[in-house]
Each structure stands twice: as C-alpha cells, then as structure tokens.
Structure 1
Amino acid sequence: MAAIDCGTNSIRLLVADLPDPAAGPQAPLADLSRRMEVVRLGQGVDRTGRLAPEAIERTRVALADYATEIEKLGAERVRMCATSASRDASNADDFRAMVQQTLGVAPEVVSGDEEARLSFTGAVRGLPADAEEPYLVVDIGGGSTEFVVGTRARGVAAAVSVDIGCVRMTERHLAGDPPTPEQVAAARADIAAAVDRALATVPGREAATLVGLAGSVTTVVAIAQGLTGYDPARIHHARVPYERVAEVTTDLLGKTAAQRLEIPVMHPGRADVIGAGALVLQVIMDRAGMPSVVASEHDILDGIAWSLA
C-alpha cells in the first residue's frame, strides 16, 4: 500500500508491505520507500486564509515525483490524507483538483479527530516494553498539534487537535531572527493556553508515557543526543528528559536561522520553524508534568498505511 501525509510544512510518502502474520501483532510494516519533502503548503494560511499558488505548485512537483514512485513499486492501494493547512484554506478546492489530476486519487481532508487517531495507531505499535501505559501521544505539525490518550488494547480514549504548530507559531509570533524575548514569551503564552485547553479535553496528565511525533520532536531528540547526522534508528524510541528538551529549546530560540542550519541533523526546510516546534514540545511537557518524552519515527503516515490493511 502507499500512504501520503500532506501537512502544513511537509509532504511524506510511505510505500510498504504488510508484515508476515507470523511475526506477531506488534510487527512493523515492511518499508519499501519512505520519503519526505518540505513544501510549506501552509505558507501564510494563518494570515490570509488561503493556500498560496506557489505553495500548491511546490506540492504538485513533490506529489508528481511520489506518483512515479508509487507506480514503480506497484502499490495496490493508495490513500492521501491532507491536514491542517488544507482544512483552513478558503481555496481548498484548487488543492483538491491538483491532487486528483496529479495522483489520480482524491485527497482526504481529515478532521483533527481522525488525524489524531491515525497518529496514535502509527505511533504505539512496537513501542518498547518500558513505555508504560496509558500513552499521551502528541503530533506536533506545522499548523496544528494533536493530543491523543489511549492504550494498545483499548485504542484511543480521547483525542483533540489544537491550532498550535511550528509554522503557525513562527508566523504568528517569532518574527525576529533570532526571536526577541518578548516574542518568545508571547508564543509561550499562546501555546500554554492551547495546551491547557487540550488537557482539559484529554486526560494527558494521567498518562504514564509521553510519545512525541513528527519532525520537530525527532529533530529536538537528535540534537539532544548529539548526533552528527540524522539517524532514524538512533532517534526511534529514544527517551529524552525534560531538562534536556528545555536546554535544546533555549539554544534553538537563541540562534538565527542560519546558525540553526549549521546543526548537523537540521533539515534545511525546518531551520526557520524548529524553535517554535521545540517550544511547543517543552510547554506540553511542562503543562502535562511529563519528566521525559519518547520519540517515534512512526506516526500518522504509518497509521494511514495501516488503515489500508
């Protein structure tokens, strides 16, 4: 099957086979291709309410390349889910028409609730034994962050999506390069208010393990580990304490975008927004009282693929 996750900042592809049934219920998918391109589809959406034509074109170019890969690998089922930016945009019909023409299937503009449930499904499969249940899974995207609480056996108990993401918070608050202390304080207050609203809906403070998903989390974890290159195997299921997350966040917010680009694990398309993403993670840990975060390289993309099984 082929799964595509089109978010506010990036578009990602997973082509995979189902695992052998004899491998057990926690066996992962057998990846054939896993790719990511930063297209910044949500550029300016928080301000204008519309998808920028150049952002739609960047997405079309990446999607055309993915369509070629899907055909080459012979995927039998394809599902594309589009998230926060295309939910918010007044010209979302232009985006949907482009996807239909380029990929041959219509995108599903999933609700925040469905986005959260897909993220949970992808994230909890294969978690290590020391990751105690229940889980609070947080997926920090470009435009929104999903909060999901649940267990493997019972699935999702509660889920909510709130409009705090690394692109949205950067555009809304962090105009400086580096941002000023006043800008960081305003972003922190905005994030904290949204996190508190989310935790009033989902019982995140009662969870035993925080599982963090998506590029902001995995980048912070890679930096916290001192990696000299982005290594998914080292990042996947790594546990990082709150104090280290706070140190990395402070350091990132004190750097210019050019200085962040010099960090060995930094993706060029993430350097300008990683400070906000790290801040979202730190505030979540603070408000939920979580002493550490477990990173997962498996997330909504894997959840979309499993939904085709």
Structure 2
Amino acid sequence: MRDARGPVGVIAAVDCGTNSIRLLVCETPHRPVVREMRVVRLGEGIDATGRMSEAALARTFAALDEYAALVREHGAARVRLCATSATRDAANAEVFAAGVRERLGIDPDVVTGEEEAALSFAGAARGLREEPAWPVLVVDLGGGSTELVLGGPDGPPEGHSMDVGSVRLHERHAFSDPPTAAEVDACARDVDAALDACPVDPARAATVVGVAGTITTVAAAALDLTAYDAGAIDQQVLDVADVHAAVDRLVAMTVEQRRALPFMHPGRADVVGAGAIVLRQVLRRSGVGRLVVSESDILDGIAWSLVD
C-alpha cells in the first residue's frame, strides 16, 4: 500500500512520546532524508506526580536543540510536532510548549488519544507493502499509552487510546529485577482491565500490525538479531507463538541481561518487559496467528498530515 505521489518539498515531523522523541525529515514519508530517535523519558514519574520533571524536560529540550539544527540544515518548509500521552497528562504542559516554540518556532500539537490513534493508523497502513486481510488492527504501543485502531480500506478507522504503556506500567507496578510471577500477573490484569473497557475489540481484526519501539524490540528478539536492524524488522510477519516466546524471555530477564542483548536500546531495557506484557494480552484477545511488524508508525502519520 505504498503511496506513489511525488515530492512536495522538504517537511519535518516530530513525534514526542512518553519515552522517546523522534524526527523524520523527508520529501514524502517514503523518501526519508533524516530519521532520528532519542530516548528522553519525558513521562518519567508523571503517573505519580502529574508533572514533567525538570530533568525530563532538560533531556527533551537537548534533543529538540539537535532536531532544530537538522530541520534548519535541510531547509524544511513545514514542521509539525505532535506531543502525546505525557504532555496530555501533565500539569506543567505550558513549560514544554514554550520550550518547543523557542527551538522550533511552532506550537506543539497536543493530540488527543483519538487523534493519536488515527495518525498511527495512517502511518502504519500506508507503510504496508502488501494488501492485508481487512479489517486491520494497528497496535501502537508507547511509553504512556497504547492505541488500538481498527479500520478497513475505506472510511475512517475506529480508534481508542488506553492508559497502559511500557513506562507507565513499569512505574505503576514497581517490578522486581527480574519481575516475580505475581508482579507479571498483576500487570497483565491491569492491561486486561483496560482492554475490557476498550471499545475496539482485537477479536474483530483479520490482520494485526504492531508498531513502535516495544513491538519492534520484541520482533528483534523473536528474530534473534545480532544488532537492531530496521530493514530486517520492517514488514516481518511473525508467528504469534514466536512472539509469545520472545515476550516470555524478555519479561523473565533482569535489566542488565536485557541491556546486554545486541539489539536492545539501553533506554528501553528497563521498561520493555512491561510493554511486552501489553502486546501479549492484545494478541491473546485477537486470535490471529501472525503479527505484522512495521517501522512505519505515528511519526510517518504526522508526516503524511503535512502532505495531504
């Protein structure tokens, strides 16, 4: 389902999530010039305090300084920054907004959960190389929230944002290192409660597409990669049994054992187990036998919003 429209000038998209902040500079999302990611943990402690910490803001602004220089270097005519779960929940969101204006000259778009879901679906669905069986469920598993978006080839998708993500659950459940069986079960029950309240039923999906860092990391584990390789991960179709086995391995490890994995980003090693539990519970409810893993996600959806 690659979109073949021509160049429209250089654009820049920024996705600011709970755990990471990412930049895409491109002519269209299928013609990337720069694709960067920094783990800044903007949502650190926000579930407990309701505020973004000074340290988290400092890390995020340092990354934005780098991104602003890249945007200027490549002459991007249009820039959009979408901020998601962490800034939606924070009492001091204006401090973040002022920092974005200072560095990029634009106001951040603090998108709703429904808007986040639609952007995720647009990025993932347009990135598919082959026509899927419809309807497609896109699972965008972030640090603060998880979006489930179900759609067909025509008409708007149906989406919902759940307040269960890798960072939020890791902090909420205060896992031991490694987690105990009781802690893992408690986390799974938390995810199941969110799914029970979710109007988007995974069981309705004919195809499940997983996006974002937790899911691509689980895919790297299932593929037993010797380094993180986006090209090897993108559009992989994995047996769900292999995904479950990779989840079980990651959840059972200590943080240091995860950090030693050759494909693991060090900023994801502590929280990936909690995120993997979310993926496992969603797949159990879906009933599908395979998972499509995509490197195209909300960041690409933000870029498409500047093209359309």
Instruction: Report if TM-score (shorter chain) is over 0.5.
Output: yes
Structure 1 residue 208 corresponds to structure 2 residue 206: yes
Where structure 1 has 5 or more consecutive residues not aligned to the other structure, the ranges are 19-27
* Contact 1:174–1:187 (CA under 8 A) maintained in structure 2: no
- Equivalent residue number for residue 307 of structure 1: 305
Provide the rounded CA distance (Å) in 2 between the counterparts of 1:285 and 1:106: 37
Provide the rounded CA distance (Å) in 2 between the counterparts of 1:277 and 1:196: 18
- Equivalent residue number for residue 108 of structure 2: 107
Distance apart, 1:174 and its partner CA:
4.0
Distance apart, 1:159 and its partner CA:
0.7
Provide the rounded CA distance (Å) in 2 between the counterparts of 1:126 and 1:277: 23
* Contact 1:196–1:287 (CA under 8 A) maintained in structure 2: no
Cα distance change of structure 1 residues 78 and 210 upon mapping to structure 2, 3 Å threshold: same
Distance apart, 1:152 and its partner CA:
3.0
| 1:13-52 alignment, distance < 5 Å | 13-18=23-28, 29-52=30-53
**Partner-residue secondary structure (3-state), 2:306:** coil
Counterpart among 202, 219, 223 of residue 225 in structure 1: 223
| 1:1-309 alignment, distance < 5 Å | 1-18=11-28, 29-129=30-130, 131-156=132-157, 158-198=158-198, 201-309=199-307
Where structure 2 has 5 or more consecutive residues not aligned to the other structure, the ranges are 1-10
Provide the rounded CA distance (Å) in 2 between the counterparts of 1:129 and 1:298: 14
Distance apart, 1:278 and its partner CA:
0.9
Deviations 1:245-278 (A, max 9, x none): 1111111111111100111110010000010111
**Partner-residue secondary structure (3-state), 2:265:** coil
* Contact 2:127–2:296 (CA under 8 A) maintained in structure 1: no
Opposite residue 95 of structure 2, the aligned amino acid is D
Provide the rounded CA distance (Å) in 2 between the counterparts of 1:68 and 1:224: 36
Provide the rounded CA distance (Å) in 2 between the counterparts of 1:29 and 1:126: 8
Opposite residue 10 of structure 1, the aligned amino acid is S
Provide the rounded CA distance (Å) in 1 between the counterparts of 2:131 and 2:110: 35
**Partner-residue secondary structure (3-state), 1:308:** helix
Provide the rounded CA distance (Å) in 1 between the counterparts of 2:35 and 2:105: 20
Provide the rounded CA distance (Å) in 2 between the counterparts of 1:65 and 1:188: 38
Question: Normalising to structure 1: TM-score of the pair?
Answer: 0.94
Deviations 1:84-125 (A, max 9, x none): 000001111111111111221111110000000000000011
* Contact 2:13–2:80 (CA under 8 A) maintained in structure 1: yes
Distance apart, 1:133 and its partner CA:
1.3
Would you say how many aligned residue pairs link Structure 1 and Structure 2?
Answer: 297
Worse-matched range after superposition: 174-183 or 46-55 = 174-183
Deviations 1:130-167 (A, max 9, x none): 621110001000000001011233341x1100100000
Provide the rounded CA distance (Å) in 2 between the counterparts of 1:234 and 1:174: 33
Deviations 1:222-258 (A, max 9, x none): 1101111111111011011221111111111111111
* Contact 1:50–1:91 (CA under 8 A) maintained in structure 2: yes
* Contact 2:162–2:194 (CA under 8 A) maintained in structure 1: yes
Alignment RMSD:
1.1
Worse-matched range after superposition: 255-264 or 169-178 = 169-178
**Partner-residue secondary structure (3-state), 2:66:** helix
Opposite residue 222 of structure 2, the aligned amino acid is A
Worse-matched range after superposition: 251-260 or 33-42 = 251-260
Provide the rounded CA distance (Å) in 2 between the counterparts of 1:195 and 1:183: 19
Opposite residue 180 of structure 1, the aligned amino acid is T
Provide the rounded CA distance (Å) in 2 between the counterparts of 1:294 and 1:307: 23
Provide the rounded CA distance (Å) in 2 between the counterparts of 1:203 and 1:185: 22
